[in-house]
Structure 1
Amino acid sequence: MTRIELYDTTLRDGMQGEGMSLSAHEKLRVAHTLDELGIDVIEAGFPSSNPKELELFGLLSAERFDHAQVAAFGMTHRKDLSAAEDPALAVLADCFAPIATIVGKTWSLHLEKVVKVSPAENLAMIADSVAFLVSAGKRVIYDAEHFFDGFCADREYALACLMAAARAGADTVVCCDTNGGSLPEQIAEAIAAVRATLPPAVAVGIHCHDDAGLGVANTLAAVTAGARQVQGTQNGYGERCGNANLTTAVANLQLKLGYACVRPDQLAQLTAASGFLNELLNLAPNPDQPYVGRNAFAHKGGMHVAGIAADPATFEHIDPVLVGNSRDVLVSELSGRGTILAHAERAGISLEDNVAARVLEDVKEREHRGYHYEAADGSLELLLRKATGDYEPLFVLESWRVIVEKRAEDRVATEATVKLWAPPGPDAVRYVQTAEGNGPVNALDAALRGALAAIYPDLAGIELANFKVRILDGNKGTEAVTRVLLDSTGEDGREWGAVGVSANVIEASWEALLDSLEYGMQTASTHAARGARLAGREP
Structure 2
Amino acid sequence: MHDQVKIFDTTLRDGTQSEDVSLLVEDKLTITEILDDLGVHYIEGGWPGSNPKDEDYFRQAKSLHLKNAKISSFGSTRRAKLKVEDDPNIIQLVESQTPVITIFGKSWDLHVKDALKISLSENLEIIYDSVQYLKKHCDEFIYDAEHFFDGFKNDPEYALKTLQSAVEGGADVIVLADTNGGIMPWEIEEIIEKVKLKFPNAVLGIHQHNDSELGVANTILAVNHGIVHVQGTINGYGERCGNANLCSIIPNLKLKMGIDCISDENLKKLTIVSKKIDEILNLHHNKHLPFVGESAFAHKGGVHVSAILKNSKTYEHIVPELVGNSQRVLVSDLSGISNIIYKAQNIGIPIDKDSKAGKNALAEIKKLENEGYYFETADASFELLLRKHRGEIRDYFEVLSYTVIDRERCDKSQRSPVEATVIVKVKDKIEHTASLGNGPVNALDNAIRKALIVFYPNLAELALIDYKVRILKSVQGTGASVRVLIQSTDKKDRWETVGVGEDVIEASKKALFDSIIYKLMKDDGLVSKR
**TM-score > 0.5, shorter chain as reference:** yes
Distance in 1, matches of 2:3 and 2:52, equals 40
Q: Spell out the pairing of 1:437-456 with structure 2 (5 A cutoff).
A: 437=438, 439-456=439-456
| Match status 1:477 vs 2:477 | yes
SS in 1 for 2:317: coil
CA contact (8 A) 2:107 2:151 kept: yes
Distance in 2, matches of 1:290 and 1:13, equals 21
| Match status 1:366 vs 2:368 | yes
| Match status 1:419 vs 2:432 | no
For structure 1, which segment, 508-517 or 36-45, has the greater mean C-alpha deviation from structure 2 after superposition?
508-517
Q: Deviations over 1:5-57 (max 9, x none)?
A: 11111111111111211111011111111011111101010123222222212
Distance in 2, matches of 1:459 and 1:23, equals 38
Distance in 2, matches of 1:335 and 1:457, equals 38
Distance in 2, matches of 1:441 and 1:299, equals 33
SS in 1 for 2:407: strand
Q: 1:112 to 1:458 in 2, by over 3 A?
A: farther
Instruction: Give the CA deviation at 1:390.
Output: 1.6
CA contact (8 A) 1:403 1:414 kept: no
Distance in 2, matches of 1:221 and 1:47, equals 32
Instruction: Give the CA deviation at 1:453.
Output: 3.7
For structure 1, which segment, 130-139 or 163-172, has the greater mean C-alpha deviation from structure 2 after superposition?
130-139
Residue in 1 that maps onto 2:389 = 387
SS in 2 for 1:522: helix
Q: Aligned AA for 2:500?
A: V
Q: Spell out the pairing of 1:308-347 with structure 2 (5 A cutoff).
A: 308-347=308-347
SS in 1 for 2:309: helix
Q: 1:436 to 1:465 in 2, by over 3 A?
A: closer
Distance in 1, matches of 2:280 and 2:455, equals 36
SS in 1 for 2:437: strand
Residue in 2 that maps onto 1:400 = 402
Distance in 2, matches of 1:397 and 1:500, equals 16
Distance in 1, matches of 2:161 and 2:464, equals 59
Residue in 1 that maps onto 2:499 = 500
Residue in 2 that maps onto 1:238 = 238
CA contact (8 A) 2:378 2:485 kept: yes
SS in 2 for 1:465: strand
CA contact (8 A) 1:209 1:241 kept: yes
Distance in 2, matches of 1:54 and 1:401, equals 59
Residue in 1 that maps onto 2:351 = 351
Instruction: Name the % identity.
Output: 44
Distance in 2, matches of 1:496 and 1:6, equals 38
Residue in 2 that maps onto 1:20 = 21
CA contact (8 A) 2:205 2:231 kept: yes
Instruction: Give the CA deviation at 1:393.
Output: 4.8
CA contact (8 A) 1:185 1:221 kept: no
Q: Spell out the pairing of 1:197-276 with structure 2 (5 A cutoff).
A: 197-200=198-201, 202-276=202-276
Instruction: State TM-score, norm by structure 2.
Output: 0.95
Distance in 1, matches of 2:209 and 2:456, equals 52
Distance in 2, matches of 1:490 and 1:159, equals 63
CA contact (8 A) 2:361 2:389 kept: yes
Instruction: Give the CA deviation at 1:429.
Output: 4.9
Distance in 1, matches of 2:274 and 2:461, equals 26
What stretches of structure 2 of length at least 5 have no aligned partner?
A: none
Q: Aligned AA for 1:253?
A: L
For structure 1, which segment, 28-37 or 136-145, has the greater mean C-alpha deviation from structure 2 after superposition?
136-145
SS in 1 for 2:91: helix
Distance in 1, matches of 2:520 and 2:198, equals 67
Instruction: Give the CA deviation at 1:436.
Output: 2.0
Q: 1:474 to 1:333 in 2, by over 3 A?
A: same
Q: Spell out the pairing of 1:24-35 with structure 2 (5 A cutoff).
A: 24-35=25-36
Residue in 2 that maps onto 1:91 = 92
Residue in 1 that maps onto 2:466 = 466
Residue in 1 that maps onto 2:105 = 104
1:527 aligned residue (503, 519, 524):
524
Instruction: Give the CA deviation at 1:216.
Output: 0.4
Distance in 1, matches of 2:471 and 2:366, equals 19
Q: 1:313 to 1:395 in 2, by over 3 A?
A: same
SS in 2 for 1:385: helix
Q: Aligned AA for 1:10?
A: T
Q: Deviations over 1:334-366 (max 9, x none)?
A: 111111111111111233512111111111111
Residue in 2 that maps onto 1:533 = none
Distance in 2, matches of 1:304 and 1:385, equals 25
- Please tell me the root mean square deviation across aligned C-alpha atoms, in Å: 1.9
Count of residues paired in the alignment: 523
SS in 1 for 2:219: helix
Instruction: Give the CA deviation at 1:173.
Output: 0.8
CA contact (8 A) 1:6 1:230 kept: yes
CA contact (8 A) 1:320 1:326 kept: yes
Q: Spell out the pairing of 1:24-63 with structure 2 (5 A cutoff).
A: 24-63=25-64
CA contact (8 A) 1:395 1:420 kept: no
Distance in 1, matches of 2:476 and 2:160, equals 63
CA contact (8 A) 1:76 1:126 kept: yes
Residue in 2 that maps onto 1:188 = 189
CA contact (8 A) 2:380 2:515 kept: yes
Instruction: Give the CA deviation at 1:153.
Output: 0.3
CA contact (8 A) 1:205 1:230 kept: yes
CA contact (8 A) 1:175 1:206 kept: yes
Instruction: Give the CA deviation at 1:70.
Output: 0.5
SS in 1 for 2:210: coil
Instruction: State TM-score, norm by structure 1.
Output: 0.93
CA contact (8 A) 1:220 1:249 kept: yes
Instruction: Give the CA deviation at 1:394.
Output: 4.3
Residue in 2 that maps onto 1:307 = 307
SS in 2 for 1:432: strand
Q: Aligned AA for 1:261?
A: C
Distance in 2, matches of 1:95 and 1:211, equals 32
| Match status 1:73 vs 2:74 | yes
Q: Aligned AA for 2:277?
A: L
| Match status 1:177 vs 2:178 | yes
SS in 1 for 2:416: strand
| Match status 1:115 vs 2:116 | yes
CA contact (8 A) 1:93 1:138 kept: no
Q: Aligned AA for 1:513?
A: L
For structure 1, which segment, 336-345 or 413-422, has the greater mean C-alpha deviation from structure 2 after superposition?
413-422
